[in-house]
């Protein structure tokens, strides 16, 4: 058997630090993007596998100062791992020196946040990786509605989108290219309950001709997402509020029909009750007639019997 090669601790630490300087410098240029509702991987691997220690060592991933994952290694393999929130080392860990961290979810309340990896052997510890994580979430597709005119020929449009992060760029276009007049747009943002995700509500009040096209654009630069919703003004077409008026008329008509059916049912039931009472009364009168005829027949038969006995 060949004798086992031993790497001095000082050389290992120096090589480990130098090996990660280039990696950390590249990571500082931009943060890893974590999307709400999706897992994220924080890459951290050791490019020079020959510099790995042959003894026992441990690694720690920290979120700022909080330990997220701790793993003990012996003879080049992990023998014990502890973590919070189901954090784990990369499943691609078949590669030597791969210490990438897998997070099942991210929280926008921690935007931005730094994750640091340190390797310890005995009393010596070296930070070898620092990863910045920025958080983002997709907005829902915007919905555009045309509201009732405020005055004159002014038209009011409402654009809404929800559940996104961070704050997006919101703008309107008329006929797909023209900017609306200054002061015609009012945009309000609010947070969802118990969350930092945003709701966006934008109003456009503008005096435009019929058969114009109005576009609402929501741009989330963090995710490189742009959502567009269109509203077309049809010449001579009814305003949106007529839809609500039509719904009100339909609801009123439905209530009238239901009311008529209920009244008809009540009248029918009353009529049935009257018929039932009349038939019951007739039946009782018939029973009384039967009883009277029966009594009369009995009395007649008794008198006849008595007459015969007297004759005898």
The pLDDT of residue 146 is 84
Alpha helices in the chain (DSSP H): 9-28, 241-311
The pLDDT of residue 3 is 36
CA proximity to 204, closest of 166, 222, 230: 230
Domain 9-136 annotated CATH 3.30.428.10:
no
Mean residue pLDDT of the chain comes to 77
Written out in words, the top-level CATH class of the domain with range 143-243 is mainly beta
Most confident of 78-82, 200-204, 234-238: 200-204
Domains 9-136 and 143-243 share a fold: yes
Q: Are 148 and 157 in contact (CB under 8 A)?
A: no
Average of per-residue pLDDT across 233-260: 67
CA 220 to each of CA 6, 15, 169, 170, 277: distance values in angstroms, whole numbers, following the listed order: 52, 41, 7, 9, 76
Summarize pLDDT for 96-140 with one digit per residue, the tens: 678 899 999 998 888 889 999 988 887 888 888 899 999 999 999
Residue 16 has pLDDT above 60, yes or no: no
| In the chain, domain spans | 9-136, 143-243
Summarize pLDDT for 207-232 with one digit per residue, the tens: 887 778 899 999 999 999 999 998 86
Cis peptide before 153 (omega within 30 of 0): no
CA 175 to each of CA 135, 229, 248: distance values in angstroms, whole numbers, following the listed order: 34, 13, 33
The pLDDT of residue 241 is 43
Summarize pLDDT for 24-77 with one digit per residue, the tens: 333 345 789 999 989 999 988 765 444 455 568 888 999 988 999 998 888 777
Residue 191: CA atoms inside 13 Å, Cβ hemisphere, count? 8
Compute the distance between CA of residue 304 and CA of residue 227 in angstroms, rounded to an integer.
Answer: 110
Compute the distance between CA of residue 97 and CA of residue 53 in angstroms, rounded to an integer.
Answer: 10
Judged by average pLDDT, the poorest of 166-170, 181-185, 258-262, 289-293 is 289-293
Higher pLDDT, 281 or 9: 281
């Amino acid at each position: 058997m060949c004798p086992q090669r031993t790497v001095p601790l000082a050389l290992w630490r120096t090589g480990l630090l130098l090996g990660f300087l280039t990696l950390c410098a590249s990571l500082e240029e931009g943060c890893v993007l974590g999307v709400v509702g999706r897992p994220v991987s924080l890459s951290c691997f050791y490019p020079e596998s020959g510099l790995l220690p042959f003894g026992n060592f441990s690694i720690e991933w920290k979120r700022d100062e909080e330990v997220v994952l701790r793993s003990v290694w012996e003879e080049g393999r992990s023998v014990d791992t502890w973590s919070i929130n189901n954090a784990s080392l990369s499943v691609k860990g078949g590669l030597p020196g791969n210490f990438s961290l897998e997070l099942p979810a991210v929280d926008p309340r921690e935007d931005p946040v730094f994750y640091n990896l340190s390797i310890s052997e005995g009393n010596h510890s070296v930070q070898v990786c620092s990863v910045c994580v920025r958080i983002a979430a997709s907005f829902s597709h915007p919905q555009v509605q045309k509201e009732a005119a405020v005055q004159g020929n002014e038209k009011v449009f409402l654009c809404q989108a929800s559940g996104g992060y961070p704050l997006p760029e919101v703008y309107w276009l008329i006929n797909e290219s023209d900017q609306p007049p200054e002061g015609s747009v009012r945009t309000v943002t609010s947070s969802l309950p118990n969350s930092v995700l945003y709701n966006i509500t934008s109003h456009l009040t503008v005096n435009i001709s019929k058969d114009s096209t109005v576009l609402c654009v929501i741009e989330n630069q963090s995710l490189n997402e742009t959502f567009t919703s269109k509203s077309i003004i049809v010449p001579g077409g009814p305003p949106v509020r007529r839809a609500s008026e039509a719904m009100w008329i339909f609801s009123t008509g439905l209530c009238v029909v239901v009311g008529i059916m209920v009244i008809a049912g009540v009248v029918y039931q009353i009529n049935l009750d009257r018929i039932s009472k009349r038939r019951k009364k007739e039946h009782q009168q018939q029973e009384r007639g039967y009883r009277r005829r029966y009594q009369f027949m009995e009395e007649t038969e008794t008198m006849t019997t008595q007459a015969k006995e007297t004759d005898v």
